[in-house]
Amino acid sequence: MIDKIDKSLLPDKTRKEILNKYRGLLRVCRRCIGNDDIKQIRKAFNIALTTHIEKTRDSGDPYIFHPIAVARIAVEEIGLGATSITAALLHETVKEGTNSFEDIEKSFGKPVRNIVEGLTKMSGISAMNTSLQAENFRKLLLTISTDVRVILLKLADRVENMRNLEHSSAERQLQTSSETFYLYAPLAHRLGLYTLKSEMEDLAMKYTNPEIYVDIQTKLRNTTASRNRFIREFTEPIKQELARQGFDFEIKGRTKSVYSIWNKMKKQQAEFKEVYDIFAIRIILNTEERNEKAYCWRVYSVVTDFYQPNTNRMRDWISVPKSNGYESLHTTVVGPGGKFVEVQIRTRRMDEVAEKGLAAHWKYKGDVPDKGLADWLSHIREIIENPDASALEFVDNFKLNLYNEEVFVFTPKGDLKRFPAGATVLDFAFDIHTDVGSACVGAKVNGKNVPIKHLLQNGDQISILTSKNQKPKIDWLTWVVTAKAKTKIKQSLKESRQVDSDAGKELLGRRLKNWKIDFPDRIKTKVLKNYKVKTSFDFYYLIGTGRIEPSDVKELILKLENKENEQGKSIPEHSTESEEDPRTAPMEKYADILIIDKSLNNIDYKFAPCCNPVFGDPIFGFVSVAEGIKIHRLSCPNAPSMLSRYDYRIVKARWTNTTENSTFQVMIRLSGIDEVGIVNKISDVVSKDLKMTLRSISIDSTDGMFEGVIRVIVRNKSQLDLLLHKLTRVKAVLKAARLDN
């Protein structure tokens, strides 16, 4: 087909590049497809090539590179087969209008059609009533009930787009990266695709926090040689002993991702050189499945014969795998020079499941995934099928079960149940059944009575206690962490509120009718405003629960009507007051780019206290409902959530030179050795050396070390960077870092 295309549409050089890409795809999938599959893939490639023949990417490359690359990721990095490769090649042909779902089904069969249809539907969603990304994500997860390969291909599509994001606009880089952080990387984690998850996080960090990304990447590159030397020294005695005992094995040293290291630095409040688990040693065994567990423990014994283990860092995910199917033995030992080293022990099968997640389950277990994963998919269906949840609420519920660590508990019959860390007795009750959860009054945990908010611990055996008089309360939402429990509690509360609201509406209507008083919309709007409620539902609910008396409403209506008559104004009944819609307001009310200037008087904006931006920080504006525009740093902890969930409320923003004369308050966290006069040394650097204003200083000391926070007034980011540098030069100060609220 490629040879038949007009050379004016496809020059020889481009033709050759496309052919090389296509042949590369065929090479990586040869071992998992037959001759009939190759014919189908070739047909799909020809259709895709014809569809995208005149289209190019932001980089200038032919657009056909994208579907080929997605197909290659699907087969090479996720482990999918011919059906997914075909669907990946065709996944944007319907959107371009050169193909129909019926055509695809006729030529390639119903499974390919279902996958392409699932991917296509996600691209045509209106953002009229909610966040586009949240609705997109909900639609994506709806495909679980039809074909989970849609999700896997969407992840492949997202990885491919992230790999080529450098050619896109800064705005698109930021939005796509935030969305990836917020939704797609956690989903890849939950499906066991750890390699793709780590890559997505690193690429997203590259655009949302570029300075720190480059800094860590540079330090990793500069320490490669010394790290490799250490790994060789550490693994040599283990290799010799495993070979002597006749094991068939492979040992790898794997450096952790930039984003993972950055998280450890933040969590441990440590510098790069102080993070001890920057890499992990992975021992992979080639053995039959029946020997896996015994052989892994034998290797663990060999490792701990040479190096002292830290028993608190032992993780046995072979006896009890994670709910996404992950199996491995993890231990941390003390290596040469007193350095802590993480060692992961697993078999080849376990390693493939760890790398390729959900797709590897189909390879080893047929069409039925691991029970834990099957249970999770079942829970997601329950959340999806809740008709009352908004898309944003759905995404929040869904994310609850993505990244959390797990605890393992038992039913009275000894059945194993998995829950996110922080789960309570109430989560356990709702997991058994909605009716059990709604009637829960407590539980017996290991034979002892405990309240419903008791935290579950590994190994607990739990028996739920119920009462017919019990019903869900609003406080329960703060005592549960699982999406299922939160969804069911909200449903129950909403049903209860609906009954009270209907009763309140009926009561007020009956009383007003007896009093022969009208309640037109124009008066109702003012009444709602007076009682500070947003909807009629809430207003009638307050009446139904006795918090507002109908007689008080009567007096307010008469008072408002008298006021109108006195002013001599006649307001049409169809007129209502409404708030400006923040989804459309920013683009019409403000300029395309909000210029942060001290003379900006006509727009209400504030600097967000969660990240305290200063002049020189990369920033954006976020339109709040009640407080105007909040200015955030791009590296704000809340940025990924805001940029992906509320993209319609984002306003581009930048500084002007006149802002440089303004001042900004920042907080700096300090730690170091507690010496006499340390407070004076710190204040001297701020006040005397740099002539800055020190607003406050708080220092606590324990066991000869101190930790503290100072509040300082600075003019710009350069001055802040200079201050941080000067503080770290103080002899007793070990660390100084900017602090978010």
User: What's the CA gap between 429 and 432, in Å, rounded?
Assistant: 5
Higher pLDDT, residue 284 or 664: 284
pLDDT for 399: 52
Q: In this structure, how many other beta carbons lie within 10 angstroms of the beta carbon of residue 477?
A: 14
Range 562-572 average pLDDT: 64
Higher pLDDT, residue 646 or 732: 732
Question: Cα torsion for 317, 320, 324, 328, to the nearest 10°?
Answer: 20
Question: Cα torsion for 527, 532, 533, 539, to the nearest 10°?
Answer: -50
User: What's the CA gap between 504 and 121, in Å, rounded?
Assistant: 42
- Residue carrying the six token digits 């660590």: 405
Question: For residue 158, what pLDDT band results from cuts at 50, 70 and 90?
Answer: very high
Which residues 6+ apart lie within 8 Å of 461 measured at CB?
409, 410, 411, 412, 414, 445, 446
What percent of the chain lies above the pLDDT cut of 70? 82
Question: For residue 136, what pLDDT band results from cuts at 50, 70 and 90?
Answer: low
Residue 296 is which amino acid?
A: C
Domain boundaries, the chain: 2-167, 217-365, 371-470, 492-567, 585-659, 664-739
User: What's the CA gap between 485 and 177, in Å, rounded?
Assistant: 30
Q: What are the percentages of helix, strand and coil residues in the chain, rounded to 5? A: 55, 15, 30
**Contact in structure between 195 and 127 (CB atoms under 8 Å):** no
Residue 321 is which amino acid?
A: P
Instruction: Kindly report the CATH number that applies to the domain delimited by 2-167.
Output: 1.10.3210.10
**Contact in structure between 95 and 123 (CB atoms under 8 Å):** yes
664-739 CATH, one of 3.30.70.260, 1.10.1330.10, 3.40.50.300, 3.10.20.30: 3.30.70.260
Q: Which CATH architecture group holds 217-365? A: 2-Layer Sandwich (3.30)
Question: Cα torsion for 470, 471, 473, 476, to the nearest 10°?
Answer: 80
pLDDT for 285: 93
pLDDT for 577: 40
Minimum mean pLDDT range among 69-78, 177-186, 525-534, 566-575: 566-575
- Sign of the alpha-carbon dihedral angle for 526, 528, 534, 540: negative
> Could you confirm whether domain 371-470 is CATH 3.30.479.30?
no
Question: For residue 163, what pLDDT band results from cuts at 50, 70 and 90?
Answer: very high
pLDDT for 149: 80
pTM of the full predicted structure? 0.64
pLDDT in tens, 467-488: 888 888 888 988 998 878 888 8
Question: For residue 580, what pLDDT band results from cuts at 50, 70 and 90?
Answer: very low
User: What's the CA gap between 271 and 223, in Å, rounded?
Assistant: 14
pLDDT for 380: 56
pLDDT for 494: 82
**Contact in structure between 141 and 398 (CB atoms under 8 Å):** yes
Which is nearest to 592 in space by CA: 547, 672, 544, 652?
Answer: 652
Question: For residue 240, what pLDDT band results from cuts at 50, 70 and 90?
Answer: very high
Range 202-207 average pLDDT: 92
pLDDT in tens, 342-370: 999 999 988 888 777 655 554 544 444 44
pLDDT for 568: 60
Which is nearest to 147 in space by CA: 196, 83, 237?
Answer: 83
Q: In this structure, how many other beta carbons lie within 10 angstroms of the beta carbon of residue 529?
A: 11
Looking at every residue in the chain, the average pLDDT score rounds to 80
What percent of the chain lies above the pLDDT cut of 90? 16
Higher pLDDT, residue 534 or 260: 260
Higher pLDDT, residue 282 or 414: 282
pLDDT for 170: 84
Question: For residue 457, what pLDDT band results from cuts at 50, 70 and 90?
Answer: confident
Range 241-254 average pLDDT: 91
pLDDT for 30: 80
Q: Which of 117-131, 403-417, 553-567, 667-681 is most confident?
A: 667-681
pLDDT in tens, 306-317: 999 887 788 888
Higher pLDDT, residue 197 or 397: 197
pLDDT for 202: 93
Question: For residue 218, what pLDDT band results from cuts at 50, 70 and 90?
Answer: very high
Element (H, E) at 350: helix 348-356
pLDDT for 481: 84
Per-residue pLDDT for 381 more than 60?
no
User: Which neighbouring-strand residues pair with 448?
Assistant: 445
Write the CA distances from 541 to 54, 471, 508, 544, 679, integer angstroms. Answer: 59, 18, 11, 5, 56
pLDDT for 371: 53
Per-residue pLDDT for 129 more than 60?
no
Question: For residue 140, what pLDDT band results from cuts at 50, 70 and 90?
Answer: low
pLDDT in tens, 384-393: 555 455 545 5
